[in-house]
Chain A
């Protein structure tokens, strides 16, 4: 081995140069470029887009079903749903009256901007015009780790935790909570049953999600849904 440089070549029988390149290149630049394209497309269509993140079982799909039930008559809502396998969630949402497209990611633990781009093409070929929607929800793969690094082009990132997951959940997943615009606390109808310490949870959310607005909802009872509408910047429908 060359003793000057450990380059692996036989000792001093070669001439060579060593080059040091300072790069500072973002590893997710390809995703970010696709996300920017999605964002300008959403902007041109004038549709707000939510990237909804949570652990498996926090109630993302139940929340969407509740949105369909409460808001479906006054707002045109579509959903893009990511899961490792099955189209069960998309079918649940379609049964609830939402226009829903399933993305099955196979082994991928998160959605990427390019997958959303493809789902948009499917939405369009199904006759759903982005510009005619009041809200598009992208339900990410249930995972509080991996999706956080991937911009999808959304206008709001919503991170959800349910009261059954414990007040310190935000502290365990700071990277994901840091990127949140909105934090939704779900299943608040179970607060008393599980002894949920609300003030402690709010404090933990403030510590690691300092930019986020917090909304507390129950998809079961419908509590907090008007507040969620307001936080999403959508008009509240007149009571029937």
Chain B
């Protein structure tokens, strides 16, 4: 269970940006989580409310973009979804060693409410 410490990293990154933009509050935090990132989205949601309490991010909406793992099959020249991490091409049955996505663990975007954003044109 390292979702709590991951969410603390999210909070720190988000509050840093919010400070730079002199935000009144953070309205939405969007994360991008790959299916092979080793993280449980439900546990992230649980941790979110706990770590955001008492900050500019309290009450913010948490959006989690789930990224399905995909691998590339060189025989068929195509990418295919690696469900449950299984890298077996559904068409030819060969095993792909080339994971093209699925390990993402990112703060994708932030939406801020600002009275007067010094960094916006």
Assuming A20-B109, A27-B107, is B1 touching A146 (CB within 8 A)? yes
Assuming A149-B37, A207-B86, is B107 touching A15 (CB within 8 A)? no
Counting CB contacts under 8 A, is B88 at the interface?
yes
Give A147 Cβ to nearest chain B Cβ, in Å: 8
A25 to B6, CA, bound (A): 13
B116 lies within 8 A of A21 (CB): no
A21 lies within 8 A of B97 (CB): no
Contact residues, B61-104 vs A (CB, 8 A): 71, 84-88, 95-97, 99, 103
Assuming A7-B25, A25-B13, A27-B9, is B38 touching A176 (CB within 8 A)? yes
Assuming A7-B25, A210-B96, is B113 touching A18 (CB within 8 A)? yes
A26 to B59, CA, bound (A): 23
Counting CB contacts under 8 A, is A10 at the interface?
no
B116 lies within 8 A of A27 (CB): no
A-B contact pairs, 29 of them (CB 8 A): A6-B27, A8-B25, A9-B24, A15-B115, A15-B116, A16-B116, A17-B117, A19-B21, A19-B112, A19-B119, A22-B108, A23-B110, A24-B106, A24-B107, A27-B10, A27-B107, A28-B6, A145-B38, A149-B2, A171-B84, A174-B36, A174-B84, A174-B86, A175-B38, A206-B95, A207-B88, A207-B95, A210-B71, A210-B96
A146 to B4, CA, bound (A): 12
A6 to B107, CA, bound (A): 23
